[in-house]
Amino acid sequence: MDHPRYPRPLGLAPLAYGGDYNPEQWPEEVWAEDVRLMGEAGVTMVSVGIFSWALLEPERGSYEFGWLDRLLDLLHAHGIRADLATPTVVPPAWFYRDHPEALPVTREGHRHSFGSRGAICHSSPAYQHAAAAITEQLARRYGSHPAVALWHVHNEYGVPVSDCYCDESAAHFRRWLGERYGTLKELNSAWGTAFWGQRYTRWDDVRPPRLTPTAGNPAQQLDYARFTNDAILANFKRERDLLHRLAPGIPVTTNFMTALSQCQSLDYWAWGREVDLVANDHYLVAEDPRSHLNLAMAADLTRSVAGGRPWLLLEHSTGAVNWQPRNLAKRPGELARNSLAHVARGSEGAMFFQWRASRYGAEKFHSAMLPHAGTSSRIWREVVSLGAELGKLAEIRDSLVRSDAALLWDWESWWAQRLEWRPSVDLDARERADAWYAATWDAHLTVDFAHPEAELGRYPLVVAPALYLMTEAAARNLRQYVENGGTLVVSCFSGIVDEHDTVHPGPHPGALREVLGLAVEEFAPLRAGQEVALAAVDGGPALRADAWTEYVVPDGAEVLYRYADGPAAGQPAVTRHAAGTGHAYYVSARLDAAGLARIVELASADAGLTLPRLPHDLEVVERAAEDGRRYLFAVNHADTDAVLPLAAPGTELLTGTPVPGSVTVPAGGTRVVRY
């Protein structure tokens, strides 16, 4: 797979520290205080101009750059780098006056209105034209401004709306399909239109999957998801290419939202290849008592779409957000713990939304680096102290995270599995990805994510938590991986359909029968709340599952667990198949956390991985530099101090003290040991 380039923000020597800065919401007198306080907090870079289109271009073709000139000069005078945005996520009111057709239309046929943000039909030529024009103006004016370190294109592509069902999008979809399939005959075959008499005889009859009386065509819906991703990515590339051409030398990024709960419509494997520097935004699910797992997973996914290279956390929050049902404040110390956990997993800094809390608008109850409470506040003190800590970590730049195993993840498969009329509403791809990720996190394994068609040879252990859709190429890849000595764990309801949501021929799981050495004769989902036990064939402790079981017929695989009760009582539940010099496990039920832990333990032993014995909630990740230096990050999520044994003596970077055989990580604290 291609990897993104990785130039760090231009001229930024330390780690990135700062946030979204919206000075346009404040009188200019306040700016002087801003930059003074930024200095006090150790801020090194701020993101500016993200929502400023209407202020920079108050009417079509008439520009007011004076305020941005003064702002960039001021930042530069204070040694603060600028991550300068193209404001194309918020077209101004005048744009919609002329082009109401650029407002996106929902599946139900309702058109969105102006007055929020992100109301964009990505197929609209008028939008593309206006976005290119303002991007060109910015590139020409600021491409050689000494403050500019990074281009921040748009904001969080894919949210709050991604797909549009208007006529312009329909025409664009037909062009996209024309390129993909060439002829209507091919399209009819790929979409399986013999079913329910959906056959097309004219291209004009082909439409986006708008509201239908009952389940729509799944292949059409899946292609629409792919089309939407491609249409949005094309708009990113258009801006990126303009910036590369008119302002060469400044890296281009856009902020992803890799947490699966936060943006569902983009295939970040594709996006990771198009940006110069991968950047991510992450927001905790505040009510989740173990929200640090979701953080770690998003960070690992971000690093993985960056091809393992360093990336940048462009937004997270200092405290509460404002858009969840109950916006819990962060606990003391959590701000630093979150930031350093991202850095441990490959981020080259920690940026926030936002610098100064807004007094008006929809986000006035969102936390900031400089809260409404001002500098006499816990958040401000923690912000200043984090700035000092990050200042001590500059030397970790460019070091790479060392991983033990890989989890397979494919956005296309997720899109497909989420469509209507699946065998059980309780089996959810994201839930399984979260659950298997948690099992590896609890086992203290550091994992990369990988696309199922990626080269996997360097991983002793590969887990597929949810790959309902699997291409022939992916199936071959996994077979080869196992035959060459790998240990593969496949979770239920994987390898079922091809890229058109068509069931692979023969018994399930068609793409994986051979490598797993079994067939699945029938799915056996459970009633809501029903649980089953799985008895170990060797007499070990039983496992528990809910929601999902299957009738598994081994064909070469050995049986490790059998269903003790439930619809498949007495039948195989977990199997292990020796193929070539490797092994493939199959888990046919939705196991609980203890069950997943047991399977991870068994498979790790096959893979030759020794699971470290560490305190339960101690997160330990290593980054290694080219010169051989290693940085061990230990983040303690527990309420008691933890002792981390060290392979070699080293130096703790945050306290600057030598550490001999072990380091004590205070409750809720972080330690970074160089050795």
Pairing of strands 558-563, 572-579: antiparallel
Compare residues 321 and 511 and give the one whose CB is closer to ligand GAL. Answer: 321
Let me know: does 280 contact 256? Beta carbons within 8 Å: yes
- Residue 353: name its binding partner from ligand GAL, Zn ion, none (Cβ under 5 to 8 Å by kind): ligand GAL
- Residue 136: name its binding partner from Zn ion, ligand GAL, none (Cβ under 5 to 8 Å by kind): none
389 an active-site residue?
no
Residues 451-490 that bind Zn ion (CB under 5 A): none
How many other C-beta atoms lie within 10 A of the C-beta of residue 204? 10
Residues 81-140 that bind Zn ion (CB under 5 A): 121, 123
Tokens standing for 317? 């929050």
Compare residues 363 and 531 and give the one whose CB is closer to ligand GAL. Answer: 363
Tell me which DSSP letter residue 62 carries.
B
Residues 506-565 that bind ligand GAL (CB under 6 A): none
How many residues bind to Zn ion according to rule CB under 5 A?
Answer: 6
Tell me, residue by residue from 416 to 455, as one string, x for binding to ligand GAL by CB under 6 A and - for no binding. Answer: ----------------------------------------
- The catalytically annotated residue of 57, 156, 168, 389 is 156
Let me know: does 518 contact 575? Beta carbons within 8 Å: yes
Q: Does 232 participate in binding Zn ion (rule CB under 5 A)?
A: no
Nearest approach, Cβ of residue 263 and ligand GAL (Å): 9
- Residue 169: name its binding partner from ligand GAL, Zn ion, none (Cβ under 5 to 8 Å by kind): Zn ion
How many other C-beta atoms lie within 10 A of the C-beta of residue 247? 22
- Residue 267: name its binding partner from Zn ion, ligand GAL, none (Cβ under 5 to 8 Å by kind): none
Residues 137-156 that bind ligand GAL (CB under 6 A): 155-156
Compare residues 297 and 543 and give the one whose CB is closer to ligand GAL. Answer: 297
Compare residues 119 and 184 and give the one whose CB is closer to ligand GAL. Answer: 119
Integer Rg of the chain from CA: 26
Let me know: does 1 contact 268? Beta carbons within 8 Å: no
- Residue 154: name its binding partner from ligand GAL, Zn ion, none (Cβ under 5 to 8 Å by kind): none
Q: Cα dist. 245→128, 238, 252 in Å?
A: 17, 11, 12
Tell me, residue by residue from 343 to 382, as one string, x for binding to ligand GAL by CB under 6 A and - for no binding. Answer: ----------x---------x--x----------------
Tokens standing for 323? 């858009």
> Which of residues 68, 321, 357, 383 is near ligand GAL by CB under 6 A?
321
Let me know: does 591 contact 599? Beta carbons within 8 Å: yes
Cross-strand partners of 518 = 554
The C-alpha atoms of residue 644 and residue 485 are separated, in whole angstroms, by: 32
Helix, coil or strand: residue 61:
coil
The C-alpha atoms of residue 444 and residue 659 are separated, in whole angstroms, by: 22
Nearest approach, Cβ of residue 415 and ligand GAL (Å): 21
Compare residues 128 and 575 and give the one whose CB is closer to Zn ion. Answer: 128
Residue ranges of the alpha helices (H) in 102-183? 125-142, 167-181
Nearest approach, Cβ of residue 295 and ligand GAL (Å): 14
- Residue 321: name its binding partner from ligand GAL, Zn ion, none (Cβ under 5 to 8 Å by kind): ligand GAL
Nearest approach, Cβ of residue 175 and Zn ion (Å): 13
Residues 381-410 that bind ligand GAL (CB under 6 A): none
How many residues bind to ligand GAL according to rule CB under 6 A?
Answer: 9
Pairing of strands 45-48, 16-21: parallel
> Which of residues 83, 239, 276, 315 is near ligand GAL by CB under 6 A?
315
Tokens standing for 529? 């709340």
- The catalytically annotated residue of 57, 168, 239, 315 is 315
The C-alpha atoms of residue 241 and residue 249 are separated, in whole angstroms, by: 12
Compare residues 164 and 534 and give the one whose CB is closer to Zn ion. Answer: 164
- Residue 315: name its binding partner from Zn ion, ligand GAL, none (Cβ under 5 to 8 Å by kind): ligand GAL
Nearest approach, Cβ of residue 132 and Zn ion (Å): 18
The C-alpha atoms of residue 125 and residue 110 are separated, in whole angstroms, by: 20
The residue count for the chain = 675
Indicate the residue whose CB is closest to ligand GAL.
353
- Residue 121: name its binding partner from Zn ion, ligand GAL, none (Cβ under 5 to 8 Å by kind): Zn ion
Q: Which of 145, 144, 152 is nearest to 47 (CA)?
A: 152
Which residue in this structure is represented by tokens 């060392």?
Answer: 402
Compare residues 281 and 606 and give the one whose CB is closer to ligand GAL. Answer: 281
Tell me, residue by residue from 242 to 281, as one string, x for binding to ligand GAL by CB under 6 A and - for no binding. Answer: ---------------------------------------x
Task: For residue 624, give every residue at least 6 positions away whose Cβ sits within 8 Å of its Cβ, in sequence order, or none.
Answer: 399, 400, 402, 630, 631
The C-alpha atoms of residue 118 and residue 138 are separated, in whole angstroms, by: 20
- Residue 164: name its binding partner from ligand GAL, Zn ion, none (Cβ under 5 to 8 Å by kind): Zn ion
Compare residues 363 and 442 and give the one whose CB is closer to ligand GAL. Answer: 363
Tokens standing for 137? 């103006």
- Residue 366: name its binding partner from ligand GAL, Zn ion, none (Cβ under 5 to 8 Å by kind): ligand GAL
Helix, coil or strand: residue 399:
coil
- Give the H or E element holding residue 30: helix 28-41
Q: Cα dist. 153→51, 232, 255, 316 in Å?
A: 11, 12, 8, 18
- Residue 501: name its binding partner from ligand GAL, Zn ion, none (Cβ under 5 to 8 Å by kind): none
Nearest approach, Cβ of residue 255 and ligand GAL (Å): 6
The C-alpha atoms of residue 227 and residue 639 are separated, in whole angstroms, by: 47
3-state secondary structure 336-378: HHHHHHHHHCCEEEEEECCCECCCCCCCCCCCCCECCCCCCCH
Amino acid at 499: E
How many other C-beta atoms lie within 10 A of the C-beta of residue 7? 14
CA pseudo-torsion sign 47, 52, 55, 59: positive
Amino acid at 278: V
- Residue 588: name its binding partner from ligand GAL, Zn ion, none (Cβ under 5 to 8 Å by kind): none
Neighbouring C-alpha atoms within 13 Å toward the C-beta of 331 = 12
558 an active-site residue?
no
Residues 264-323 that bind Zn ion (CB under 5 A): none
> Which of residues 176, 283, 380, 548 is near ligand GAL by CB under 6 A?
283
Nearest approach, Cβ of residue 314 and ligand GAL (Å): 8
Preceding omega of 324 cis (within 30 degrees of 0): no
Tell me, residue by residue from 150 to 169, as one string, x for binding to Zn ion by CB under 5 A and - for no binding. Answer: --------------x-x-xx
The C-alpha atoms of residue 656 and residue 658 are separated, in whole angstroms, by: 7
Which residue in this structure is represented by tokens 């619809």?
Answer: 567
- Note the residues at the interface with ligand GAL (CB under 6 A): 155-156, 281, 283, 315, 321, 353, 363, 366
Question: What is the set of active-site residues?
Answer: 156, 315
- Note the residues at the interface with Zn ion (CB under 5 A): 121, 123, 164, 166, 168-169
